[in-house]
Structure 1
Amino acid sequence: MNFERIDNFDVITQKGSSSTAVVVLHGYGASFQDLAPLYQYLDPKSELNWYFVDGPLSVDIGMGMRGKAWFPIDMMELNQAIVSGNFEHVFADHSPEGLEQITDQLEVFINNLKSQHQDIFLGGFSQGSMVSTSLALKNPSLLSKLFLLSSTLYDQKRFEAEIGGLKTLATFQSHGNMDPVLPINMANKLSEILKSHLETYEYHPFSGGHEIPLNVIDSLKDFLHRN
């Protein structure tokens, strides 16, 4: 694996034998190193070209430690909303501040990758999956596949108005039924919308929390390598 600076992003890259690139966006407070080890399980024959991108924002994750993010999140507000049962209003009523800007930046990044690779698969975990969805809605022609790991629905009215553009984009979604960070009820709403509009869509709810369990990794591997 190599560390590169591409279009103002720090990126971990792993070259493969095919013309397909997989762009992976980590969750809030993590970094590009968080998901990079997954490629060994998802692509044991090194067929795909991997790009693990680092979020541009540095955020406090407690205990004197810092992580990376794609856009700001008020974690105290988020936790209070979950405890009070009002989580659905945190994201579903609007687009998060900063999401549009990072979407524009990543569009440039992926558009340049498109000149090097025939197909682009985009996805991520948690906040990274929200950014992936945003980019897919803005410019679906850039992508051949989309994968959303522990994602959530945001700006529902806009999402439903623009989802038609994703009709032919093969999409994978997974979510834990005991997720304490992004409760599954909003993931289920997201799933209902995707299922009703997309030609190729699969949902993998699982027993667990805010994570990527082995059975999801196995299913995602099949999805990525399926023609």
Structure 2
Amino acid sequence: MGQSSSTMSSPVIIPAAARHTATLIFLHGLGDTGHGWASAMAAIRPPYVKVICPTAESMSVTLNAGFVMPSWFDLISLDPNGPEDRAGIEKATNFVHGLIEEELKNGIEASRIAVGGFSQGGGLAIHAALQYPKSLAGIIGLSCWLPLHKDFPKEAKGNLTTRLFQAHGSADPVVPFHWGAETSALLKQFMENSEFKTYPGLSHSSGEQEMEDVKKFLQEVLPDN
């Protein structure tokens, strides 16, 4: 039986420190929560940017021997050509779209909303952006891959010209570096403003230089207005 949305924790929200004119939605990786990234994102966002870090529902994850943990969708295989949880990925994508729509209702335009994430969350952020018809400000994908990559570019609905900052550590033992590089190569075939940055020696985590680069990216795609 599927879990109801009532099992979803409320997102961690860091209000803007100045007049709220832009929003960043950032999605955690497998087994983490919104708290895992909220303070890091709050430290690098411009003061007029509100940060939303939701927490995924807890579910049984096939790849982790069925253990229950926060996960945006089930992970079935480590093979890029292996089976994927299409229904779960689509449900999670709709959830992200719902967060974007809430910000639109609050008077923030799509062009002032950035979406991003780490690992599974980064992949979901890119997927959700490509499935969203309105143009967003920017997309951030850290240490990630693109779910349902065979759907693209055919199934893309928008954000093909939106700036994407994709980053990956060269020593990542969890999401292999070549996954990130292959994802970038695919995205660059149809996304005009896609950047892929490598961090030598970085494992499956973020580093100081990477966070500086994300900070710079946010300032560029969400300038003061």
TM-score band (shorter)? Answer: 0.7 to 0.9
Aligned partner of 1:223 in structure 2 is 217
Find the aligned partners of 1:165 and 1:26 in 2 and give their Cα distance.
23
Task: Name the CA shift for 1:212/1:203 in 2 (closer, same or farther; >3 Å).
Answer: same
What are the Cα deviations for residues 88-117 of structure 1, in whole angstroms up to 9, with x where unaligned? Answer: 323xx6564511112122212221212222
Out of 195, 201, 206, the position equivalent to 1:212 is 206
Task: Name the CA shift for 1:96/1:214 in 2 (closer, same or farther; >3 Å).
Answer: farther
Please report the TM-score for the alignment, with normalisation by the length of structure 1: 0.80
Out of 99, 109, 134, the position equivalent to 1:141 is 134
After superposition, the CA RMSD in angstroms is 2.7
Aligned partner of 1:54 in structure 2 is 55
Aligned partner of 1:89 in structure 2 is 81
Larger helix proportion of the pair:
1
Q: Structure 1 residue 126 and structure 2 residue 119: aligned? A: yes
What are the Cα deviations for residues 51-101 of structure 1, in whole angstroms up to 9, with x where unaligned? Answer: 111112245899xx9641111224xx53xxxxxxxx3323xx656451111
Find the aligned partners of 1:180 and 1:217 in 2 and give their Cα distance.
20
Compute the displacement of 1:151 (Å): 0.8
Out of 71, 94, 108, the position equivalent to 1:69 is 71
Compute the displacement of 1:154 (Å): 3.1
Task: Name the CA shift for 1:128/1:193 in 2 (closer, same or farther; >3 Å).
Answer: same
Task: Name the CA shift for 1:143/1:205 in 2 (closer, same or farther; >3 Å).
Answer: same
Larger strand proportion of the pair:
1
In structure 1, what residue type is equivalent to 2:209?
N
Q: Structure 1 residue 108 and structure 2 residue 85: aligned? A: no
In structure 1, what residue type is equivalent to 2:195?
E
Aligned partner of 1:190 in structure 2 is 183
Aligned partner of 2:174 in structure 1 is 181
Find the aligned partners of 1:195 and 1:148 in 2 and give their Cα distance.
14
Task: Name the CA shift for 1:40/1:156 in 2 (closer, same or farther; >3 Å).
Answer: closer
Find the aligned partners of 1:193 and 1:99 in 2 and give their Cα distance.
19
Which secondary structure state, in structure 1, belongs to the residue aligned with residue 134 of structure 2? Answer: helix
CA contact (8 A) 2:136 2:159 kept: no
Aligned positions, number: 207
User: Which segments of structure 1 move beyond 6 Å, counting only runs of 4 or more?
Assistant: none
CA contact (8 A) 1:163 1:197 kept: no
Aligned partner of 1:25 in structure 2 is 27
What are the Cα deviations for residues 134-156 of structure 1, in whole angstroms up to 9, with x where unaligned? Answer: 21121141522110011113333
CA contact (8 A) 2:135 2:162 kept: no
What are the Cα deviations for residues 177-217 of structure 1, in whole angstroms up to 9, with x where unaligned? Answer: 12111111121111112223233222111121111111110
Structure 1: stretches of 5+ with no match in the other structure: 79-86
Compute the displacement of 1:19 (Å): 0.9
In structure 1, what residue type is equivalent to 2:206?
I
CA contact (8 A) 2:59 2:74 kept: no
Find the aligned partners of 1:132 and 1:40 in 2 and give their Cα distance.
18
CA contact (8 A) 1:146 1:171 kept: yes
In structure 2, what residue type is equivalent to 1:28?
L
